[in-house]
Amino acid sequence: MVMREPELTPLSIQTVAADSYRQAKERMREAIARYAAEGRYRLPSEEELSTALGVSRATLRSVLQSLQKEGRIRRLHGSGTFINRHTIGIAANLAEASPFVDLLTQAGYRPAVRTLDQRLIALDDELATSLELPAGERALRIERVFDADGKPAVHSVDHVPATLLGEHPEDSDPRRSTFEFVETDTGTPVCYSVAEIRPVLPPTAIATALGLPRTRPVLRLRHTHIRADELPVAVTVVHVNDDYLRFSVIRTYLDQ
């Protein structure tokens, strides 16, 4: 089964819950870029920021804490909140949980997503172990490619246990993101993800989907998504052509 959705706009897979928080964070990001461009690296007070961005103090605080965790800003006890200047140019921060369409947009590309395949499978040992299920249990497997300006940049395969997806998991809308599947269908949000990072030569099928020779290393990210009740609810294996997305991480040492 191959489905093509060339018309799919980025917005249609951005339906992870808290939209207002995400909008506030996006506005804060833009504000940081503006301040930095003006050479103002010390952020205004929380009061001024919440007024300037039109968000509540509580939302602002969550946004600042998130940006701090990602390494974009630092808070120095007693002297304020500062922009980490050398992080301004980073388009893809591995610590940020942005959907690939957003990452590709931030990297300057016109993104699109194609669902190559969607089917029910029986979990192999490795997937079953990660999902804390017996091997052989059924799961929905969704294979996608994310394009950058029409060229394949990221190959992604999600695995969601069928037991989490209602009576007819095979009929799930393939355009929904992994998070939508898991959160909408189970009613419990994903709380954290663990991503293992490996440099690999792509398996043949993935090399073909990405239009790469098999001798070209790609970054493999294997995510296990964990729900608030500590149940692993999905495994997503991603292969990234780093011509399009070059990930960074930021480590901060001194902030509060």
Interface residues with a second copy (CB under 8 A)?
41, 62, 65, 68-69, 71, 74, 84-87, 90, 94-97, 189-201, 215, 217-220, 224, 226, 228, 230, 232, 242, 246-256
Q: Which is nearer to a second copy, 112 or 157 (CB)?
A: 157
Nearest-5° Cα angle at 53, 26 to 47:
125
- CB-CB neighbours of 48 under 10 Å: 10
Q: Which is nearer to a second copy, 180 or 242 (CB)?
A: 242
Q: Which is nearer to a second copy, 8 or 226 (CB)?
A: 226
Least distance in angstroms from the C-beta of 181 to a second copy: 15
Q: Which is nearer to a second copy, 31 or 82 (CB)?
A: 82
Least distance in angstroms from the C-beta of 220 to a second copy: 8
Least distance in angstroms from the C-beta of 2 to a second copy: 28
Q: Which is nearer to a second copy, 145 or 240 (CB)?
A: 240
Query: 127: closest CA among 158, 91, 87?
Result: 158
- The DSSP letter of residue 107 is T
Q: Which is nearer to a second copy, 139 or 218 (CB)?
A: 218
Contact 18, 66 (CB under 8 A): no
Least distance in angstroms from the C-beta of 7 to a second copy: 29
Query: What DSSP line would sit under 134-165, residue for residue?
Result: -TT-EEEEEEEEEEETTEEEEEEEEEEEGGGS
Contact 140, 159 (CB under 8 A): yes
As a whole number of angstroms, the distance between CA 1 and CA 21 comes to: 37
As a whole number of angstroms, the distance between CA 232 and CA 180 comes to: 15
Least distance in angstroms from the C-beta of 195 to a second copy: 5
Least distance in angstroms from the C-beta of 9 to a second copy: 24
